[in-house]
Amino acid sequence: MADTTLATTDVRLGLEHDAQGRIAGPARDAQRTFRLILATVWLTDAVLQIQPFMFTRGSNGFSGMLHGMASGNPGFVARTVTWNASIVSHQPVVTNALFALIQFVIAFGIVYPRTVRPALALSIVWALGVWWFGEGAGGVFLGAATPFGGGPGGVLYYAVLAVLLWPHQGPDEPFVAARAVGVRAARLIWVGVWGLLAVLTVVGSGRRPTALHDLVTRVESGQPGWLAHIDKVSAPFLLHHGTATAILLAAVCALAGASIYMAPWFMRLMIVVVCVAFAAIWIAVENLGGILAGGATDPNSGPLVLLLALLYWPSRSNVTSSRRVDALAVEVAEV
């Protein structure tokens, strides 16, 4: 009975065991590692927010960028975006400095244990606000929220990641994302995200044969030579195979969503597949979010999709520890 209690305590404390069942030391806090990555992305956003053009008025400034998000959106979205853009246009220095400050606060707040919870809470609120007022609801109501272009809005991933990375003591079982919200909720989030991406890939602009080609040509201006070369290769391919590529990605996303209920090896395989796919999209279609060409406010959704996927990587050591505890419990019950 004592061995069972000790084993259970080891699992709760996140202690790893070797092949003989001996304690090998405290498990690495994967959740904190992922939070530091998220903080780095927020820091990148904050740095991009203080580019000189962001403090100027007019169509080439930040307010002009925001005004452009209202175009084509239904009235209830366009009015809120225009209202936000007009405030920025009247006080570009003050508002942009405030926006940058908030993102710096979130980034550094996530790093320190004492401030991580308020920082994650602020990031959820801020991300949802930016998605609506700054990104025009990510183009969802326009039918332009294809994942090839960052849909349904890269900033939404910040909110999802903040929920999944909320500090919680315990092992990363069966994957890091389950630690904060539980296995059932984490699985539902996974299915919801990949199901939505599958749908958005083939609806709206995603159905047009030239949609992906247009995405590439729209962001190729000002890119460094190596990215421009990739664009010259990918644009003709997508011009002729855009629809087939979209259908293929939709199928991959749907299969990834279902893999959460399948064998761990298949789950790992699908995580690798989606990471490769969205890394390729981030480079060849999103052009790294445009950060190398200037004028970008964030790296777009590519890195965030990869981070979200890796949060669900099955944890072998914790599953082994759990099975050991279950086996001990059965033995005690039989005695």
Task: Look at residue 17 and give its three-state secondary structure.
Answer: strand
DSSP 8-state code for residue 34: H
Are the beta carbons of 281 and 250 closer than 8 angstroms? no
Confidence of residue 247 (pLDDT cuts 50, 70, 90): confident
Q: Of 175, 177, 83, which is closest to residue 136 (Cα–Cα)?
A: 83
Overall average pLDDT of the 213-228 stretch: 66
Is the model's pLDDT at 325 over the cut of 60? no
CA dihedral 118, 120, 122, 128 (to 10 degrees): -160
Instruction: Write down the pLDDT at residue 136.
Output: 81
Count CB-CB contacts under 10 A for residue 16: 17
CA–CA separation, 309 and 299 (whole Å): 17
Tokens of 148: 């090839």
Determine the Cα–Cα distance for residues 202 and 200; give it in Å rounded to an integer.
6
Distance of CA 330 to the CA centre of its chain: 40
Band (pLDDT 50/70/90 cuts) for residue 170 is low
* d(C-alpha 160, C-alpha 155), whole Å: 9
Q: How far apart are CA 101 and CA 112, in angstroms?
A: 17
DSSP E strand stretches across 161-306: none
CA distances from 40 to 33, 46, 168, 189, 298 (A): 11, 10, 21, 23, 12
The rounded mean pLDDT for the chain is 79
Residues 17-60: tens digit of each pLDDT: 444 444 444 445 888 999 999 999 999 999 988 888 888 877 66
Report pLDDT for 145: 79
- Give 15's strand partners: 26
Mean pLDDT of all residues in 243-253 = 87
- DSSP notation for 46-97: HHHHT-GGGG--STTSHHHHHHHHHTTS-HHHHHHHHHHHHHHHHSHHHHHH
* Residues 211, 280: Cα–Cα separation, whole Å: 17
CA distance 148 to 248: 12
pLDDT exceeds 80 at position 219: no
How high is the pLDDT of residue 85? 83
Instruction: Report which of 5, 6, 12, 32 is spatially closest to residue 318, judged by C-alpha positions.
Output: 12
Confidence band (pLDDT; 50, 70, 90) for 126? very high
- Tokens 């801020």, residue located: 126
Sign, Cα dihedral of 286, 290, 296, 302: positive
What residues form DSSP beta bridges with 17? Answer: 23
Spatial CA neighbour of 183 closest among 171, 196, 195, 198: 171
